[in-house]
Amino acid sequence: MRVLIFHGYLLRGTGSNIYNANLARALARLGHEVHLLCQDRSWDAPEGVTVHNPDIGRVLPVYVADTYDGFDAKTYPELTDGELDHYLAANVEAVSSAPTPDLALANHLIMGPAILARAGVAPYAVKIHGSALEYTVKPHPERFLPYALEGIRPARGVLVGSEHTANSLFEALADEPTLPDRTRLGPPGVDIHEFRPREPELERLASRPAASWGGDQGSPEVLRELDLSRDRIVSYVGKLIVSKGVDLLLAAWPLVVSRVPDARLVMVGFGTYHDALVRFVEALASRDLGAFRDIAARGRELEGGPVGELRYLNAFLDTVDDEWLRAAPGAARRIHFTGRLEHDDLPMLLPACEAQVMPSTFPESFGMVAAEAAACGALPLSANHSGMAEVTATLRPALPEHLRPLMAFDVGPEAVREIGSKLVTWLELDPRERDGARAALASEAARRYSWESVARGVIEAASGQV
């Protein structure tokens, strides 16, 4: 079967990029002929996958402000009408010029579905990733809801990563009454052949050059500071933006180090909030409460958005005591920014991690990084909401009942202390009990997730099997 996938971005780094790279590989393994439209010009396509790069010019529309080599990235609301029309026309032409597919998949609520609809592709399914829905269509319905409806109405099926995303979608597109009947769960998968308990390869990873895109925001070279015979490694993997709640994790780190002095925090990712997070670590080193207060007061302003208080961080700062301040400088020395790593690099790191934290304060369509961490045997500690909570629910039964609460925390005034206390409890477990729990998590993640099952779900959705 010939399958067309429309994804207007790269195939590295972020969730939807990784989704499409793995989906294309899985479809090819299942014997399908895949035509993948994207803006990645350096991806090593496997046999059976042909990559097409639509000529969109310099302007690349994005949902969250970011930088991309070779492009002028602009958020959708920042686009002029002329820029948006050009982007749509260039992609419609590229889709129309590709071999006629038997079925297709459009990624993101906008603009992929509208592009397939305008190109006359049928049948097709739509994969909803949370960013287009939450950051663009819902905040700016007057301009972007018509495009969303234009693309969603002809779709045979709609795939969502979680029930939370489905409900958010139904609310935003209430004018399309048939949508719930065409929607099915279609979360991302995990490459269980790579993401598994194995020997970490930190030296190999540390020897790699810093990423060529994502800015000067760290280097894998910092991994040389880790000593696997002694260090207790906790990781964060994701964009460095306010919505990911990274400030809560950094604030919790002195609470962890005061009880587990050998703990190290490895921060993997890049984004517009990086400089503010570096300033946060510097404030830890100098015990500068004034700097913390300034960061908490300004919030999104420090990543280029409007001023907005980080109220959960402020709530914690109101309770800071001498113990936290004493631990802060030591904690700062045990926080390491790797910058952006390739997704394929993560299996070299995650098996070395005893836990991974996903502290997003904004809804997530799916907790893919949590599932990947679990597959490697790391405890996934995630915010207890949206798609993250649904991933936690699938993995929680793998653990003994008394350990299950360690997998989630509530976003609120107590979030920082809850993150800290749950990490400490996990790291202070008897090693035999913790190792058994890690093995059980890895086994459950491998049982529940595979990209081949995701690929079959896409085929079914595009064929109208909901």
What is the predicted pLDDT for the residue at 211? 58
Minimum mean pLDDT among 51-60, 151-160, 337-346: which range? 337-346
Query: Comparing 379 with 386, which gets the higher pLDDT?
Result: 379
Burial of 390 (0-12, 13-18, 19+ CB in 10 A): buried
Task: Band the pLDDT of 141: cuts 50, 70, 90.
Answer: very high
CA gap 13, 7 in Å, rounded: 14
CA gap 266, 233 in Å, rounded: 7
Q: Which tens digit of pLDDT belongs to each residue from 90-113?
A: 999 999 999 999 999 999 999 999
Rounded mean pLDDT, 177-185: 96
For every residue of 222-277, DSSP letters joined together read: GGGG--TTT-EEEEEES--SGGGTHHHHHHHHHHHHHH-TTEEEEEE---TTHHHH
Q: How many CB atoms lie within 10 A of CB 146?
A: 13
Dmax over CA atoms of the chain, in Å, equals 67
- For the CA atoms of 374, 379, 385, 389, the dihedral, rounded to the nearest 10 degrees, stands at 40
- Integer CA distances (angstroms), 415 to 210, 246, 377, in order: 32, 12, 24
Set out the domains of the chain in order of their start, with CATH numbers. 2-189+450-462 (3.40.50.2000), 202-448 (3.40.50.2000)
For every residue of 117-146, DSSP letters joined together read: HHHT--SEEEEPPHHIIIIIITT-HHHHHH
Three-state SS for 214? coil
Task: Band the pLDDT of 346: cuts 50, 70, 90.
Answer: very high
Contacts of 143 (CB under 8 A, 6+ apart): 77
- For the CA atoms of 21, 445, 244, 107, the dihedral, rounded to the nearest 10 degrees, stands at 30
Q: Which tens digit of pLDDT belongs to each residue from 297-306?
A: 999 999 999 9
Minimum mean pLDDT among 33-42, 144-153, 361-370, 424-433: which range? 361-370
Query: Angle at CA 340, nearest 5°, toward 234 and 16?
Result: 95
> What distance lies between CA 228 and its chain's CA centroid?
26
What is the predicted pLDDT for the residue at 465? 87
Find, among 337, 141, 97, 91, the residue nearest to 237 by Cα: 337
CA gap 322, 315 in Å, rounded: 16
Cis, bond preceding 123 (omega within 30 deg of 0): yes
Is the per-residue pLDDT at 15 higher than 90?
no
Contacts of 236 (CB under 8 A, 6+ apart): 246, 249, 265, 266, 267, 268, 269, 356, 357, 358, 359
| Range 309-321 burial, b when 16+ CB lie within 10 A, else e | ebebbbbbbeebe
Contacts of 351 (CB under 8 A, 6+ apart): 196, 197, 198, 199, 200, 376, 377, 378
